[in-house]
Amino acid sequence: MTDMANHDATTTPRPRHPAVEAFEMFTRNLSAIVGLVLLMLIILGAFLGPMLYPTDPFEMVWAPFTPPGQEGFLLGTDYLGRDLLAALLNGARVTLLVGASAALLSVCIGVTVGALSGYYSGFVEEALMRVTEFFQVLPTLLFCMVIVALFGTSLHMIVLAIGVVSWTGVARIARSEVMRIKQLEYVLAARASGATHSQIILFTILPNAMPPIIVQATLMVGSAILFEASLSFLGLTDPNVVSWGQVIGANRQYILDSSFAVTIPGLAIFVTVLAISLIGDGLNDALNPKLRRR
């Protein structure tokens, strides 16, 4: 009898923390790791690159339209003879910072709106759902363009504009999670033990609603980067900072002479967003194992 008990204790593994399991599942996912490594490299390039390669991205350094690899310019020069590699390295920082802060802002708005409208019923829910619906019908990019055009093209304004238009997806997910969780027994237990509404929302429900929100937040960074790229491609960006979309927008009239000045920065945006969506997919598989077969 004692033997069997010992035997059981050694073969059945201790139930591990779900976060540990998720982490292991994530690290076993090859494409997610590829995404993570790519993103790390891009972040390193963004923050160390300008130090290691101090060419000014606004300065005319050589003849215009120098093809990549010639005259010592790894990625060539653009229509004003500016070094594309320098533009790429300096633009990465803006792209990443704007993307991450806009995503953070939209996640904050989305989670607040979603949690409140999922938790409360009646007037609060109705009002918040209407607001969400309203932001869903606003053509997001046009609205951003209008905001930036009316209130100026500072990076703060761009972050604000992107954040304000892109939270509805997060709100929908947060709301449905909160609505599901608020019916569970541990929420009832929390209420029975005298927790206030805000305590229940903040400490009981939200931590359990986080997995899908984290996945969505990751993907939001990608779409915020695409958003910023579109705005700066259209020229609606701070003219004193380089960003990838802006380089493409400035060079697009010259695609006959130098298609590389358009394709290379575009490739940079593509690879960055791709890396982020691979990480997002990996997180999705790791955090929502039930949906894995999708």
Partner 1 sequence: MNHLGTFLIRMGNAAVLLGSVLVLNFLLIHMAPGDVADTIAQSMGGADAEVMAQIRAEYRLDDPFLVQLTRYIGNVLRFDLGHSYFYNEPVTDLILRRLPATLLLVVTAQVLALLVGIILGVYSSRNPRGIFSHLITALSLFGFSAPVFWTGLLLLIALSLRLPLFPVAGMVDPTLDGGVWVRALDIAHHMVLPVLALSSIFLALYSRLSRASMMEVLESDYIRTAEAKGLGNTKVVYKHALKNAVSPVITLAGLQFSAVVSGAVVVETVFSWPGLGTLAFEAILARDTPTILGILFFSSLVVIVGNLLTDAAHRLVDPRLRRRG
Which pair of tokens denotes residue 151? 């209130």
Residue whose CB is less far from partner 1, 77 or 230: 230
The answer to the question of residue 195 lying near partner 1 (CB under 8 A) is no
Q: Does 248 participate in binding partner 1 (rule CB under 8 A)? A: yes
Number of Cβ within 10 Å of residue 147's Cβ equals: 19
CB of residue 226 to partner 1, shortest distance in Å: 5
Q: Is 239 in the site for partner 1 (CB under 8 A)?
A: no
Using CA atoms in the order 172, 174, 176, 178, what is the torsion angle rounded to 10 degrees? -150
Window 274-293: contact mask with partner 1 (x via CB under 8 A): x--xx--------------x
Residues 230 and 168: their CA atoms lie apart, in Å, by 19
By the rule CB under 8 A, 4 interacts with partner 1: no
Determine the size of the site formed for partner 1 (CB under 8 A).
45
- Say how far apart CA 172 and CA 153 lie, in whole Å: 30
Residue 257 in contact with partner 1, rule: CB under 8 A: no
259 binds partner 1 (CB under 8 A): yes
In the Cβ-directed half-sphere of 155, how many Cα atoms lie within 13 Å? 16
Q: Of 126, 226, 92, give the one whose Cα is nearest residue 166.
A: 226
Among 262, 283, 286, 287, binds partner 1 (CB under 8 A): 262
Q: Which is nearer to partner 1, 196 or 259 (CB)?
A: 259
Contact yes or no for 225/139 (Cβ under 8 A): no
Closest CA to 267 of 101, 104, 68, 58: 68
Q: Could you tell me the smallest distance in angstroms from the CB atom of residue 7 to partner 1?
A: 38
List CB contacts of 79: < 8 A, sequence separation 6 or more.
64, 65, 250, 251, 253, 254, 257, 258, 261
Mask: binding to partner 1, 137-156, rule CB under 8 A, as x and -?
xxxxxxx-xxx-xxxx----
Residues within the interface to partner 1 (CB under 8 A): 130, 133-134, 136-143, 145-147, 149-152, 222, 226, 229-230, 233-236, 245, 248, 252, 255-256, 259, 262-263, 266-267, 269-271, 273-274, 277-278, 293-294
